Chains A and B, each alone.
Chain A
Amino acid sequence: MTGANSFQVSGYGPERAGWTRLFARDSLARRLDWPILTAALALSLIGSVLVFSATRNRTEINQGDQYYFLLRHLLNTGIGFALMVGTIWLGHRTLRTAVPILYGVSVFLILLVLTPLGSTINGAHSWIKLPGGFSLQPSEFVKVTIILGMAMLLAARVDAGDKPYPDHRTVLQALGLAAVPMLIVLLMPDLGSVMVMVVIVLGVLLASGASNRWVLGLLSAGAIGGIAVWQLQILDEYQIARFAAFANPELDPAGVGYNTNQARIAIGSGGLTGAGLFHGSQTTGQFVPEQQTDFVFTVAGEELGFVGGGLIIFLLGILLWRACRIARETTELYGTIVAAGIVAWFAFQAFENIGMTLGIMPVTGLPLPFVSYGGSSMFAVWVAVGLLQSIRVQRPMSA
């Protein structure tokens, strides 16, 4: 708890002493992972510019204010940043004790989506409309609670020193904990989020040291599940069409293949340095649908070119690299599992999101962490950054 306390510096102590303490050896500021913070902030700010470029002409959604989305994206980033600060202040260990409450609340929220209070956006019934034009996508928070919940269960016996690895019962419990919200999200249906959650569960299991059998079992279960979903035609027509369009984008260039084609044209036309900010014809002409959210990467590709697109991938790389280090260097399994779960989450979501704009992954409705417009996603990823920082801050600097 020392870390948390030392963060509350100013106010009472003398100003100078406060600053000194902040940057003193072993102080919080010294122990924060600055590369992660910088990368996350940079991605969010780049995102705000891209969102602005994508929406400044879209009068039908920006309510006549070309800065509408820009300001909201910055606001979301600010709130996200505050949530990160809060998370660090609370500390991931404190949150561990709060897992039952968090879990209960998030399951309740996603159940709420299934009631008439939920609303459908782009075929996914995964939103709750709030007053004031805000809307909430609870499945984003479920990702966090699944990580925290599973980590709590899996790490409990190991961190207590009872066992080197989680036993089968614990694994089963953890899987059950993850399965409940996943099934609910599947019912929405929000297949993209379910896919992310499956990958998160995989990452968590891998990091927990659970037996290889569980990992392999889960992989095969995922494969069988996928085939079953296909065979039993649980998928909606639009989802099948997206996969077909992924396999052959020329299939229906005006229909389902449209997104993919236009996205690829936008990115491809960017070349090395892009058309210049606000000068992309694909973006200005609004040829790419959902460009401020799921297809935000196309704005970077077209207007900033390989340099801009590469920068985003590079920043994500730094963030994930540092997160992996945090997972490897923390002393408790709990922290390791949480960090690994976040790595799995960010990595898969970023790969899927950018991959679909590049035409190497099928189209699903997943936001690009930090960059895409969207409050819920922004809040969730910043909370995750807070968790990573907390894990790093609270590990002893030296043995």
Chain B
Amino acid sequence: MAFVARRLLYLVPVLIAVSVLTFVIASLLPGDLAYVILGDQATPENVAALRHDMGLDQPIWLRYFGWLGHILQGDFGRSFRTGQTVLQAMSERVPVSFELMILAELLGLAIGVPLAIACAAKSGSAFDRFMTGSAFAMLSVPSFLSAILLIYLFAVELRWLPATGYVPFSEDPLANLRFMVLPALTLALAEWPGIMRVLRSDMIAALQEDYIALAKAKGLKPSRILFVHALKPSSLTLVTITGINIGRLIGGAVIVETIFALPGIGRLLVGAIYNRDLIILQGVVLLVAAGFVIMNFIVDMLYAVLDPRIRHGHA
């Protein structure tokens, strides 16, 4: 428990740094918010008045603390265009991106992990060389290309799945999944090569260890040696890259959401940038960054579950 508390304490300075960076970067973006709101025809007096009303004439650190103060009270600000608050906008978009992330990761793991185990068990074989080569090839296929190929195959030719669109899960779970399959698969196709390569090389290393020789000498079944004695100590890096993948997808998948017309966080961010909707941008980036940090915290906790030496502070 002390371990968890210590790790939680580390989160505080990280989150503060994240908020400072988010705020400073958004403030450094070219284009004064007042001009954006008032448009080209604004007089300098109007702009000055609005800047004063919005507090933009104050020094940046004062504005930061003002912003942080509101956030700590749960007020992330609202869009000057739609009037929607950041939290409202997020709550509409998060379920879409979250579902996409979960499905993509599950698919990626479902493809990558069994292949990695099979390759490690037969390392150097023709199968291993073929799969390692394929993974390398897949790694260099950009997701817009695989998205288009998948749409062509499953939506245009086979007509099994819709090409674009979205229905909330709560309205029609089956239709929702049909819309989600292709985007999730597109992302998974980019995820599995990394998963497979990392786990494969870790397992090959683990299979060289003395404890595997002893496990064989104990007469254990090959499946137990592979799945218990080799897989568990090899899964730390797997957890790391899965965590990083998930963290990255928390911010939405901009390209995939755009191609498949999914109303996720990625499209919210892109829209906010196009419209210079800095309040939304700031708030969303902060929340996404916080999500990333918390995901890393969960990964740290998983390390401890997997490796007792970390749990006991030996490593």
Q: Do A and B come from one complex?
A: no
